């Protein structure tokens, strides 16, 4: 089984040589600046108290405050959070927003808790996090199994702690509490914008391109919705319970409605298909939008998509990357493809700090411009240096972070 943290470190090491990073710079970037591990006691409805584990890793603050989501899931581990925090550093650098990288997680089967237990768990975790977060230091956001509701509770705990409302401490809030227009759809929309720009660069449109989406949470649903509006046909979708295939195309709105009411996709119109087979369907674009490691050395050779757009963080292992590259499959990497979420988080933070709010049109326009510029930047490096898109994105991102560090630690410059 691949270790996600070792994979993240390997991806960094892969570009360190070409960037002529010194060994000390590589060592510095290879570990988070801080990792906090908390006990989180949560009173349950039955009168018992469960002690959960909460984690927050701050990988880098070199380019600005740490930024990244909070994930509430049973598979959360210290290694996973460290990897995700490092990926946030690169992601923020790729889209060139003034943030470093962070990530947090609560090890819990969150969906199995009652609504009151969920609130108590979130608030208890927030109280542990309070001394280590802040609008100028570390700004959490939604991730797997968390959304606007959880962000509101954390915002509330933090505001009580500092003694005044402080919306800029967290992003992905409800609009009523200073959330941004367009934040909920931003990650999925960003995936679609990057894919669209990639096809434009190759003088193609998304008209009738066949798309498979693995994972039908916030990111998968919005990616499917926006890609189908752009003219693509969604032929396969799946969630953790199983998938649906329809060669003539799936009605995305109806599928979202079905998933909302039934809590799953199986049973919806179309042919039922197991998750592993869904990834191997014949299609033009595959969007893995679930968890890490979905595409590994075990299934990479059977992937038939021409382009993979990583809606999830870390869905392709480095071994799988090598196989896909050999096969000529283009991987639009997570740190570019799913950066729309953190980009609109940045807009939200800017609006909170200015106490001035933008309309949806402005948010969409700015997101579009930033995603297209970042795609062009990465594409340029990929073409000029004949690199895979992942390698190109890493070259760009790691260089930006290392250049910032060198300003305050000239001794870490590798050219000496």
Rounded Cα distance, 292 and 143, in Å: 13
Respond yes or no: is residue 67 known to be catalytic. Answer: no
CA distances from 364 to 69, 270, 370, 380 (A): 21, 33, 10, 24
Which CB sits closer to ligand GLU, 191 or 396?
191
Contact 93, 401 (CB under 8 A): yes
Q: How far is the CB of 350 from ligand GLU (least distance, A)?
A: 13
Pick 154 or 323: Cβ nearer ligand GLU: 154
Do residues 284 and 209 touch, judged by C-beta distance below 8 A? Answer: yes
| Between 196 and 343, CB nearer to ligand GLU | 343
Taking the least distance from each CB to ligand GLU, the nearer of 93 and 412 is 93
Query: Alpha carbon 184 to chain centroid distance?
Result: 13
Q: Locate all alpha helices (DSSP H) within 18-162, ordered by sequence.
A: 23-29, 78-94, 115-129, 148-162
Q: Which of 67, 82, 91, 103 is catalytic?
A: 103
Rounded Cα gap, residues 228 and 249, in angstroms: 10
Pairing of strands 242-245, 271-273: antiparallel
Q: From the CB of 84, what's the least distance to ligand GLU, in Å?
A: 7
Tell me the Ramachandran region of residue 213: left when phi exceeds 0, alpha when psi lies from -120 to 50, beta otherwise: beta
Nearest residue (beta carbon) to ligand GLU: 69
Contacts of 132 (CB under 8 A, 6+ apart): 34, 36, 56, 58, 138
CA angle centred on 401, ends 400 and 406, rounded to 5°: 100
Q: How far is the CB of 141 from ligand GLU (least distance, A)?
A: 3
**Beta carbon nearer to ligand GLU, 122 or 338:** 338
Contact 20, 330 (CB under 8 A): no
CB 230 within 8 A of CB 241: no
DSSP SS3 for 387:
coil
Using CB under 6 A, list all residues that contact ligand GLU: 67-69, 91, 141, 143, 171, 313, 338, 341-342, 345
**In this structure, are residues 398 and 219 in contact, taking their beta carbons and an 8 Å threshold?**
no
| Closest CA relative to residue 316, chosen from 328, 304, 299 | 299
CB of 88 to ligand GLU, least distance (A): 6
Identity of the residue, 65 or 243, whose beta carbon is nearer to ligand GLU in the bound complex: 65
Distance from C-alpha of 231 to C-alpha of 192, rounded to nearest angstrom = 11
Cβ burial 153-189 (10 Å sphere, 16+ → b, else e): bbbbbbeebeeeebbbbbbbbeeebbbbbbbbbbbbb
Query: Between 237 and 312, whose beta carbon lies closer to ligand GLU?
Result: 312
Q: From CA 366, how far away is CA 95, in angstroms rounded?
A: 12
* Closer Cβ to ligand GLU, 88 or 121, answer by number: 88
Annotated catalytic sites, by residue?
103
């Amino acid at each position: 089984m691949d270790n996600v943290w070792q994979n993240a470190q390997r991806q960094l090491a892969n570009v360190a040589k070409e960037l002529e990073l010194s060994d000390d710079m590589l060592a510095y970037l290879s570990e988070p600046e801080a990792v906090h591990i908390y006990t989180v006691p949560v009173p349950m409805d039955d009168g018992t108290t469960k002690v959960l584990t909460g984690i927050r890793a701050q990988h880098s603050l070199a380019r600005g405050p740490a930024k990244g989501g909070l994930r509430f899931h049973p598979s959360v581990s210290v290694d996973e959070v460290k990897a995700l925090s490092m990926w946030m550093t690169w992601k923020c650098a790729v889209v060139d927003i003034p943030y470093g990288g962070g990530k947090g997680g609560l090890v819990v089967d969150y969906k199995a808790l009652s609504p009151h237990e969920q609130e108590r768990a979130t608030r208890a975790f927030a109280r542990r996090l309070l001394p280590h977060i802040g609008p100028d230091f570390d700004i959490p956001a939604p991730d797997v199994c968390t959304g606007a509701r959880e962000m509101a509770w954390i915002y509330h705990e933090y505001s009580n702690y500092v003694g005044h409302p402080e919306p800029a401490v967290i992003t992905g809030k409800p609009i009523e509490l200073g959330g941004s227009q367009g934040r909920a759809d931003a990650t999925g929309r960003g995936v679609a914008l990057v894919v669209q720009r990639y096809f434009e660069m190759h003088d193609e449109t998304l008209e009738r391109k066949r798309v498979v989406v693995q994972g039908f949470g916030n990111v998968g649903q919005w990616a499917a919705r926006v890609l189908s509006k752009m003219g693509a046909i969604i032929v396969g979708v799946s969630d953790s319970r199983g998938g649906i295939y329809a060669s003539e195309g799936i009605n995305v709105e109806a599928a979202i409605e079905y998933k909302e009411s039934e809590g799953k996709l199986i049973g919806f119109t179309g042919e039922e298909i197991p998750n592993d087979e869904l990834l191997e369907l014949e299609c033009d674009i595959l969007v893995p939008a679930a968890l890490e490691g979905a595409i590994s050395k075990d299934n990479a050779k059977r992937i038939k998509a021409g382009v993979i757009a990583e809606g999830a963080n870390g869905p392709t292992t480095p071994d799988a990357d090598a196989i896909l590259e050999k096969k000529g499959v283009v991987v639009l990497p997570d740190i570019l493809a799913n950066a729309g979420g953190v980009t609109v988080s940045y807009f939200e933070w800017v609006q909170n700090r200015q106490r001035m709010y933008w309309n949806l049109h402005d948010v969409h326009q700015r997101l579009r411009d930033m995603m297209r510029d970042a795609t062009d930047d990465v594409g340029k490096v990929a073409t000029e240096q004949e690199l895979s898109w992942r390698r190109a994105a890493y070259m760009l991102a790691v260089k930006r972070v290392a250049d910032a560090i060198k300003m305050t630690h000239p001794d870490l410059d590798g050219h000496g």
